[in-house]
Amino acid sequence: MALTKETTISLVSKFGVNEKDTGNTKVQVALLTERIKQLTDHCKTFKKDKCASRSLLKLVGQRRSLLKYLQRKDLELYRSLIKELGLRK
């Protein structure tokens, strides 16, 4: 259920400066968002899987923390990332 290598490479190349830029906040948020989408679909299918539900909540909290950090440091980058990932309507 983890992200495939191809998905990870494509997200890192899209949001990072280069293909090895996995520590960038934008890349981390994009990877977490993709993982959250996968876990959301899983939890909709398997409603009694409490471990997956807890993992989903942990990932959402991590993403929220990274987005708060990005909002404090660079507001324009935060807004463009939110729009690009489609997180808020």
Confidence of residue 89 (pLDDT cuts 50, 70, 90): low
Assess contact for 44 and 82: CB atoms under 8 A.
no
Copy the structure tokens of residue 64. 């929220």
Contact yes or no for 76/82 (Cβ under 8 A):
no
Return the DSSP state at 48.
T
Instruction: Classify burial at 39, counting beta carbons within 10 Å of its beta carbon; exposed 0-12, middle 13-18, buried 19 or more.
Output: buried
Reference 70, options 32, 42, 43, 40; nearest CA is 32
The answer to whether the CB of 27 falls within 8 A of the CB of 11 is yes
Give me the pLDDT at residue 34, please.
96
Taking only the tens place, the pLDDT of each residue in 51-80 is 999 999 999 999 999 999 999 999 999 999
The pLDDT score that the predictor gives to residue 79 is 95
